Homo-oligomer: A and B are copies of this chain.
Amino acid sequence: MGTVVVDVMPKPEILDPQGKAVASALPRLGFGGFTGVRQGRRFELTVEGEVTEAVLEQVRQAAVTLLSNPVIEDVVRVEAVADPSVADA
């Protein structure tokens, strides 16, 4: 059983109200020195068998048809990870 991570972010030229709210909240809560925040979505897809190149190609297609809106969002990562939710912690 394998896991594929897909990260989707708003395109740089698209205003991101959720990221903007976080950016404005940080200094108020005592966190200084940040100049901007963007908020996107992270998906973890569990695969029945091994994560082959064919599986990754399926995920890449799903990423641009189902997981993101290519007009306003970029898929910034499609990658097999060894251990879901802790892989790159």
A residues in contact (CB < 8 Å) with B:
1, 7-9, 12, 14-29, 31, 33-49, 55, 58-59, 61-62, 65-79, 84-89
Contacts and interface: CB of A to CB of B under 8 A. Distances in A.
- Copies of this protein chain in the complex: 4
A42 to B, nearest CB: 4
Given A18-B18, A44-B40, A76 B89 contact: yes
Question: Which secondary structure dominates where chain A touches chain B?
Answer: mixed
Contacts of A24: 21, 24-25, 28-29, 66
Which 6 residue pairs across A and B have the least CB separation, nearest first? A24-B25, A36-B46, A21-B21, A42-B42, A15-B69, A21-B25
A14 B78 CA distance: 24
